[in-house]
C-alpha cells in the first residue's frame, strides 16, 4: 500500500472517529433533553392529577354536606310531624286516664 493510500485511510479513520464522537455527544444531548422533557411532563401530569383530586374531593364533600343537610331536614320534618301527632293524642290519652282513675 502506498503512503498516499495509508494517509487517506488514516484520515478516513480519524474523520470517522470524529463523526462517531460528535454523534455520541449529540445522542447524549438528545437523551438528556428527552429526560428533562419527560421529567417536566411527569411533574405537570402529577400537578394536574393533584388538582383534579382536590376538585373531586371538594365536589364529594359538597355532595356529602348536601346529603347530610337533606337527611337532617327530613328527620326534623318527620320529628315535627310525629311530635304533633303525639301531642294530639296526648289530650285523648289524658282524658281516658282521668276517666279510669275517677271511675
Give residue 11's pLDDT: 92
The C-alpha atoms of residue 65 and residue 68 are separated, in whole angstroms, by 5
Quote the pLDDT of residue 96.
87
> Cα separation of 69 and 13, whole Å?
82
**pLDDT, tens digit, for every residue of 11-61?**
999 999 999 999 999 999 999 999 999 999 999 999 999 999 999 999 999
Whole-model pTM? 0.56
Write out the three cell numbers for 39. Answer: 421529567
Range from 70-79, 83-92, 94-103 that averages highest in pLDDT: 70-79
The DSSP string of 35-87 is: HHHHHHHHHHHHHHHHHHHHHHHHHHHHHHHHHHHHHHHHHHHHHHHHHHHHH
Sequence-distant (6+) residues with CB within 8 A of 83 are none
Q: Mean of the pLDDT values across residues 77-91?
A: 92
Amino acid at each position: 500500500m502506498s503512503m498516499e493510500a495509508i494517509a487517506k485511510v488514516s484520515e478516513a479513520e480519524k474523520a470517522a472517529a470524529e463523526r462517531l464522537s460528535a454523534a455520541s455527544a449529540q445522542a447524549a444531548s438528545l437523551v438528556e433533553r428527552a429526560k428533562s422533557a419527560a421529567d417536566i411532563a411527569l411533574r405537570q401530569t402529577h400537578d394536574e392529577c393533584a388538582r383534579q383530586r382536590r376538585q373531586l374531593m371538594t365536589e364529594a364533600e359538597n355532595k356529602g354536606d348536601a346529603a347530610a343537610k337533606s337527611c337532617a331536614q327530613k328527620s326534623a320534618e318527620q320529628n315535627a310531624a310525629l311530635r304533633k301527632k303525639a301531642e294530639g293524642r296526648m289530650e285523648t290519652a289524658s282524658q281516658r286516664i282521668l276517666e279510669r282513675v275517677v271511675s
